[in-house]
Amino acid sequence: MTKKRVHYEEETSGATQSSWLVPDRRKEFPTLEKNISVDVAVVGAGIAGLMTAYLLAQKGKQVAVLEDGLIASGETGRTTGHLTNAFDNRYFEIAELHGINKAKLVWESHTAAIDLIEKICRTEEIACDFARVPGYLFLHANDRVMTLDKELEIAHRLGFADVKKIKKAPLSFQTGPCLLFPNQAQFHVLKFMNGLANVFIKQGGQIFTKTHIDDINRGKLETSAGKKVRAKAIVIATNAPITKSKIHTKQTPNRTYVIGVTVKNKDAPHALLWETGYPYHYIRSQPFNKKEKLVTIGGEDHRVGEVGYEHLHLARLKKWAKSRLKFSKILFAWSGQIMEAHDYLGYAGRWPKKENEYIITGDSGSGLTHGVIGALVICGLINRERNAWARLYDPARKTVGSLPKFASENARVAARYSAWLKNIKGPHDLRPGQGAVIKKGTHAEAIFRDEKGRIHSYSPICSHLKCIVRWNNMEKSFDCPCHGSRFSSSGKTINGPANKNLIKKKERSRFAS
């Protein structure tokens, strides 16, 4: 029997489907239908939330995971499954901002995260196509070899002598000189998440899906259905925290794009590859059939809601891939969201002035490994165990060198509003499946025309800090450019930090002029 297609907000955070979600074989868990008390409540069932729950359950804690959608329905299900200790921020930049000792801790923490995933796959017998593969950093067309030399020098200073400079990456196109990072890894994200969830349940843990948390206050959580959860500790693992905090002032929300194609085996090594420079691109290759590999190509990042031409960014990604790889058909195309910390490092730990409240956010493009790091840090804090990385990823930290970036990001947000509101369409221009933010005098309205031609109307004011949303036609969502909150075409919140839906106005068959 064919599974009935539901609105995307119940499955994932956008209208497009990642390769991991086709076919969608996620196990469904019950919704929370009664009040409960636990040692730890974890909000969010992505890799950060489930890993935290798994590690705490191993320590004997009673843990409940509460998820608005399904397992990995947020950004975990929209990643590309890269597991690397060398990410898109260069280590020489991290060392300049944080110092050589902290840069080494960054490397060690991401390495430990990969090792832990491998250990869990082995000991818990999770079949998720985990494989160790080499990683290659190659030059952007506008970059110089000096960038590679600086990164090689800092890698060796950090003590990682196995990083090498080679003449080219083993691809069909000419990359020029690149750095080889051995012993990176990749896996099937959804297979791992399904396996981890099953193990956690066997440990005595509880998972509740399609359970929205409306309020968090002093060890108490309340769902939209009025059910209450009492917990000694609360972990917010929702990509962007939905708790009341000012963490949004320390990070920038970006959209990123991915396509999946098939390439002949000889033209694509089983490896991870990423480039220096901007716009940033990366490649992952994995077995697909006897003659071909499935190659995912990602990049073309931009600020959430910045330009509104999502399909243009996707077209640029396709063009970049076409000029370098031989493929005839694109099997998958999707986008995801990255929270970019202003000082390159993510945030994981206790939120200041919240004795029992912890957050994991700021993945900076390395959400899978950072989610595991966050789980390790928070598990240590809750169990009062020493963790070498707790201060490094402390959400309360202040990094002076990152302040200019914070100021420039806020200036860019303020400058965008007038341009957006001058170039919006009227409702009669909308085709079925399209939306827009309409301004009439001093009045603005977020509208969506559904497949039956009906117009649905909402307030365009983001429920987080009252910014004005704009329409994302690729993912069929209303996105907030200020702090990255996103709402589905039915007005439901699908990305934090907002935790309340758009205010719904009346539905009508046509827009009143």
pLDDT tens digits, 404-432 = 554 555 555 545 444 444 445 567 778 89
Model pLDDT, residue 420: 45
Predicted model pTM:
0.93
Q: What is the DSSP string of 175-244?
A: --SEEEEEEEEE--HHHHHHHHHHHHHHTT-EEE-S--EEEEETTEEEETTS-EEEEEEEEE-SSS--SS
Find where tokens 């609360």 sit: 234
**CATH code, 449:** 2.102.10.10
* Residues forming beta bridges with residue 68, ordered by sequence position: none
Residues present in the chain in total: 513
- Does residue 485 sit within a domain? yes
Q: How far apart are CA 405 and CA 394, in angstroms?
A: 19
Model pLDDT, residue 513: 35
- Does residue 480 sit within a domain? yes
- Does residue 177 sit within a domain? no
CA nearest to 296, candidates 335, 332, 320: 332
Instruction: Yes or no: say if 283 and 272 are a contact pair by the CB < 8 Å rule.
Output: yes
- CA dihedral sign, ordered 349, 354, 359, 362: negative
Vertex 441 angle, CA 436 and 443, to 5°: 60
CA-to-CA separations, 444 to 346, 424, 467, in angstroms, rounded: 36, 11, 12
Give backbone dihedrals phi and psi of 274, rounded to 5 degrees, phi first. -150, 160
Instruction: Yes or no: say if 343 and 399 are a contact pair by the CB < 8 Å rule.
Output: yes
Ranges under pLDDT 70 in the chain: 1-6, 307-308, 400-426, 506-513
Buried b or exposed e, range 308-347, using 16+ CB within 10 angstroms: bebeebbebbbebbeebbebeebebbbbbbbbbbbbbbbb
- Does residue 504 sit within a domain? no
Q: Which residue range(s) make up the domain with 471?
A: 424-495
Q: How far apart are CA 117 and CA 62, in angstroms?
A: 22
Residues 6+ apart with CB under 8 A from 459: 445, 446, 502, 503, 505
Instruction: Yes or no: say if 213 and 241 are a contact pair by the CB < 8 Å rule.
Output: no
Instruction: Yes or no: say if 484 and 304 are a contact pair by the CB < 8 Å rule.
Output: yes
- Asked whether the bond before 497 is cis by omega within 30 degrees of 0, the reply is yes
- Does residue 489 sit within a domain? yes
Q: State the pairing for strand pair 292-303/251-264.
A: antiparallel
- Does residue 445 sit within a domain? yes
Model pLDDT, residue 328: 82
Model pLDDT, residue 410: 52
**Count of domains forming the chain:** 1
Model pLDDT, residue 417: 45
- Does residue 322 sit within a domain? no
- Does residue 455 sit within a domain? yes
Mean pLDDT of the chain: 89
**Which contacts of 409-416 are long-range, i.e. CB under 8 A and separated by 24 or more positions?**
409/252, 409/303, 409/342, 412/303, 412/306, 413/467, 413/481, 413/482, 416/305, 416/306, 416/481
